[in-house]
Chains A and B, each alone.
Chain A
């Protein structure tokens, strides 16, 4: 059996400071979890640049990148703050309120 088949790929996520999001750092290759952890520590933490690391077997990741689901071509502006343009409505409402006083 070649060394290729004996190794697995592990994806490494790192948190820079406490409370930060876990961000993908890269990947390492190792035959088991213990060695994956040591590699990850050497590659992504030896300069004290990480507060926490997550080491995940690549095959455990489920990917979704289907644009039909993630970027559907319909108007989704009602889901975003920018979809509500109130400047003129607010001015009109204020003007009305001022008149009635």
Chain B
């Protein structure tokens, strides 16, 4: 069997639901596509804690502070698990962190925005995590088995975050008119980025990630699933979704104002309101913790 035949057999294998392990042979384009996908996911988990960590010191109660700290630890843990999956595909972790900090690789759009009040913490944990879990649940069927297994663990932990976020939102909705106004204000600001989060609809015949089953569902399908579950849950609290065109037709399909794809492209390439500040914090933090890595890794290197 020559390289081309071997690659064709491989594509047929993953295309029909077959799984791939880290040390299996795989064509370079498949390896590169999985790596890019997982690296972006890992970057997003790592950068995603920065908006939330801003609120740890301002959490309203000790229990909320513990829950938020625990969520931040979970998300950094997810980044660690995902960088582990990615580095087995051949790219060293230090290189991935260097690329992230230099702005050469991307992270999810929702982590480029500011957090204005405690209600943002609730909306992020509830709805951003909900939008994420819709796509993450589909990734449990990924053809790249080490990623699929990691997603099972991550989804299990994310389900706690959603409950934490929903609890924060419910508490505020049962509070004062000012608290309810803060939640509405947070929803108004986050709705646009949430609708952009899954990305523009793609042509399924040209979407290689879909074709090779690296991901199991297309962008628009994920957005539709998110809307079906969460629009009723948002509205039942008396919150108003800031899109006059949002409606569901008789077939269950959601119609909505076209999300601002220019904003999405601009934000994920480092031009969001907080992109540079967050990257600068990541660089600062990396430099500040260098002595920890040096002290932990130094003696082992000397002994080796």
Instruction: List residues of chain A with CB under 8 Å of any chain B CB.
Output: 1-7, 9, 25-29, 31-32, 35, 39, 42-43, 46-47, 63
Give A47's nearest chain B residue, CB to CB.
B157
A-B pairs with beta carbons under 8 Å apart, 27 shown: A2-B92, A2-B94, A3-B94, A3-B297, A4-B94, A5-B301, A6-B297, A6-B300, A6-B301, A7-B297, A9-B84, A25-B153, A26-B81, A27-B88, A28-B80, A28-B84, A29-B93, A31-B296, A31-B301, A32-B300, A35-B296, A39-B80, A42-B77, A43-B80, A43-B81, A46-B73, A47-B157
Contact assessment for A26 and B92 in the assembled complex, using a CB-CB cutoff below 8 Å: no
Instruction: List residues of chain B with CB under 8 Å of any chain A CB.
Output: 23, 73, 77, 80-81, 84, 87-88, 92-94, 146, 149-150, 153, 157, 293, 296-297, 300-301, 304
Among A3, A25, A46, the residue within 8 A (CB) of B293 is: A3
Among A5, A26, A47, the residue within 8 A (CB) of B84 is: A26
Given known pairs A26-B150, A29-B84, the reply for A43 and B297 (CB within 8 Å) is: no
Give A5's nearest chain B residue, CB to CB.
B301
Q: Note all chain A residues with C-beta closer than 8 A to B157.
A: 47
Given known pairs A6-B304, A7-B297, the reply for A26 and B94 (CB within 8 Å) is: no
Q: Note all chain A residues with C-beta closer than 8 A to B87.
A: 29
State how many angstroms separate the Cβ of B80 from the closest Cβ of chain A: 7
Q: Note all chain B residues with C-beta closer than 8 A to A39.
A: 80
Contact assessment for A4 and B92 in the assembled complex, using a CB-CB cutoff below 8 Å: yes
State how many angstroms separate the Cβ of A43 from the closest Cβ of chain B: 6
- Complexed CA–CA distance, A47 and B265 (Å): 37
Among B153, B296, B300, the residue within 8 A (CB) of A26 is: B153
State how many angstroms separate the Cβ of A71 from the closest Cβ of chain B: 14
State how many angstroms separate the Cβ of A57 from the closest Cβ of chain B: 13
Q: Note all chain A residues with C-beta closer than 8 A to B296.
A: 31, 35
Give A42's nearest chain B residue, CB to CB.
B77
State how many angstroms separate the Cβ of B223 from the closest Cβ of chain A: 30
Give A4's nearest chain B residue, CB to CB.
B92
Given known pairs A4-B93, A26-B149, the reply for A31 and B81 (CB within 8 Å) is: no
Q: Note all chain B residues with C-beta closer than 8 A to A47.
A: 157
> Given known contacts A4-B92, A6-B297, A6-B300, what 7 new A-B pairs fall within 8 Å (CB)?
A3-B293, A3-B297, A6-B304, A26-B153, A27-B84, A28-B84, A43-B77
